Amino acid sequence: MNAAGELAPIALFAYRRPAHLRRALDSLARNPLARGSPLVIFCDGAKTPDAAADVAGVRRIARSATGFLSLKVIERDENLGLMASVIDGVGKLTRDHGRAIVVEDDLVVAPRFLEFMNLALERYASESRVMQISGYMYPCALESAAGSGFLPSISCWGWATWDRAWRQYDASLAAWEAVRGDPLALRAFDMDGAYDYSGMVERTRSGDLQSWGVVWYLSVFSRQGLVLYPRKSLVSNTGFDGSGTHAEGSAEEQLGAVALWDGAKVFEFPARTEVDQRYYAESRQLILSAQKGWRSWLRRLFRR
């Protein structure tokens, strides 16, 4: 909750997958805090005529959503694409409310997802180095770890941020020259050589890639920002059925469609605001060990 006792608004981005949107809404509504949370659904416009029927179906479901404090549906007349939709939508909610929780239509969340996000948003509201809260967590073996931990990399699947942090989103990629020119910074940006994030920045600069995620990552990294991750994932991705950019049976499915945490323990936060080296080592090792499959998964994740 913010200083006025209000829960963070939820920004839900949807396009042309009615069944996925219904599952996402159902999972959000199962959160006890849903009834106190404003919901804003951003519905993108049809990119091609054959998408019109699905887009209309998504909008009907969006308008009928129940179980939330309030509902607002923003229907785009044109197709903005996910990158422009996220930049615009997250910017609007964070400016108006100071913070926002962000989900997409192919995500299913745990019943305590909103609790974790709101508690963490309140806990780190004034910690300038903390720039994002993630609901997703890599499928790491962290059973005995603390309740949550910090990583230097951002998350695209079920996350939250504040206006103070999102204002640092730099679409011009102005920090890239300094990072690229410093071998140590460049290696750190690529998770000590585990993944070619730097190549994604170059492709984004050239226009070959549209990724709000890698732009946001650079914005966070260049400010030595941190992202809080839960011990086990509170978000699972259901978009691996051929309906989107994910391939059924791919490494993405194995790593995105993770089991949701269903525990009853009180959420715990780190004693120190610094990178959790165990989280970092486990995450980096997963990326390295999975090789080609992980590379495909991460590329698609950040392209979203």
Q: How far is CA 282 from CA 129, 141, 191, 277, 289, in A?
A: 22, 8, 12, 8, 10
Per-residue pLDDT band at 261 (split at 50, 70, 90): confident
pLDDT at 171: 95
Closest listed residue to residue 20, CA positions, set 61, 66, 80: 61
The tens digit of pLDDT for each residue in 127-144 reads: 999 999 999 998 876 654
> Which one-letter DSSP state was computed for residue 28?
H
Nearest 5°: phi and psi at 16?
-140, 30
Closest listed residue to residue 232, CA positions, set 141, 132, 105: 141
With contact defined as beta carbons under 8 Å apart, do 54 and 16 qualify? yes
pLDDT at 298: 58
pLDDT at 138: 84
pLDDT at 296: 55
pLDDT at 242: 47
Cα(188)–Cα(193) distance, rounded to whole angstroms? Answer: 7
For the four alpha carbons of 158, 159, 163 and 168, in that order, the dihedral sign comes to negative
Closest listed residue to residue 42, CA positions, set 125, 103, 133, 111: 103
Nearest 5°: phi and psi at 139?
-75, 65
Q: Does residue 234 carry a pLDDT above 80?
A: yes
Q: With respect to CATH, is domain 10-303 assigned 3.90.550.10?
A: yes
Residue-averaged pLDDT of the chain? 89
**Which residues, other chains included, contact 79 with Cβ-Cβ below 8 Å and sequence gap of 6+?**
44, 45, 46, 47
Q: Coil, strand, or helix at residue 255? A: helix
**Which residues, other chains included, contact 231 with Cβ-Cβ below 8 Å and sequence gap of 6+?**
137, 142, 145, 146, 147, 148, 149, 261
The tens digit of pLDDT for each residue in 185-215 reads: 999 999 998 888 999 999 999 999 989 999 9
**∠ at Cα 277 (274, 281), nearest 5°?**
145
